[in-house]
Structure 1
Amino acid sequence: MAATVGTTMRQGIGIIATIVRIVGLVIVAILVAHIVLTLLDANPQNFLTEFVSTWAAQFNLGLANLFTPEQPKMAVTLNYGVAAILWMIVTAVVVRLLRRV
């Protein structure tokens, strides 16, 4: 009986860890997509560009003005790039902690 509960709990935590990893990767993908669309001069009035930009602004961890170079594309690349890296690190740490439980 105790082994069954332990196995079920490990499976549940494994599922939660997988969900956390997927959510983290989706957030990183949105941030990277925003960088790419900015670098390629995507039409800011396009639905996809607006969608990605809106969500990227939500996930930038307040780092949108961390670096302020004169070139706007460089600012987006640096600021959202740092946010993407931080999301990757935080996601990896949380997933690792969940899997250790």
Structure 2
Amino acid sequence: MTSFEPDPDPGPVPVAYVNPNPGLVELTPAGISPLAEAQDREQRRWGRTRAVRLICTIITIITSVFAVVLAANIIMVLGQANPANGVASFVRGFASGVSLGFDTLFTPANAKAQVLLNDGLAALVWLGLGAVATTLIRRFALPGPRRPLRYVALRRRNIEPTPPR
């Protein structure tokens, strides 16, 4: 037998070489080609990634707006803004609504110090809540990194399979 003649008993054929014509895409039993199935999976992955990014962006914007309103209230109280002004009363009302119950946590004698401590802590908590929420959403909702496929050599004749590297 020369090296150009085919082996009469080649043994089990590896799965990657089952298709004798690699240019021909065979359909799966469901009628979908493996390429179309991979593209569909990639589109679903991209759609989920976009949705998670959008949700995380919305959460970040909302929590940042709450923190900015609390900081604006601190600035207006420290700067002695007119409480009868429409903007000052709106910011004060909005800040009391998003203060998370920290309005009377600290009760120093000075009213400015009280607003600084309570609203400042509430702003930091809002920023922390936003960061934790977006981190958890990204960690559990996004698909993991692509892992490289590891192949094991199939048994051919009397040769033991080699373990993956």
The answer to whether the superposition gives a TM-score over 0.5 is: yes
Select the residue among 83, 86, 93 that pairs with 1:54. 93
Match of 2:144 in 1: none
From the two aligned structures, give the one with the greater helix fraction: 1
8 A Cα contact 1:14 1:98, kept in partner: no
TM-score by length of 2: 0.60
**Match runs of 1:48-87 below 5 Å:** 48-87=87-126
**Match runs of 1:7-46 below 5 Å:** 7-46=46-85
Corresponding residue SS for 2:106: coil
Match of 2:17 in 1: none
Cα distance in 1 for partners of 2:81, 2:42 equals: 55
Give me the identity figure in percent.
35
TM-score by length of 1: 0.97
Cα distance in 2 for partners of 1:33, 1:99 equals: 30
Higher relative contact order (CA 8 A, sep 6+): 1
Moved over 3 A (4+): none
Q: Does 1:98 align with 2:126?
A: no
Q: Deviations over 1:49-78 (max 9, x none)?
A: 001000000000011000000000000000
Structure of larger gyration radius: 2
Match of 2:151 in 1: none
Cα distance in 2 for partners of 1:88, 1:20 equals: 10
Q: Where do 5+ consecutive residues of structure 1 fail to align?
A: none
Question: How well do the aligned residues superpose, as a CA RMSD in angstroms?
Answer: 0.7
8 A Cα contact 1:63 1:83, kept in partner: yes
How far residue 99 of structure 1 moved from its aligned partner, in angstroms, is: 1.8
Q: Where do 5+ consecutive residues of structure 2 fail to align?
A: 1-39, 142-165
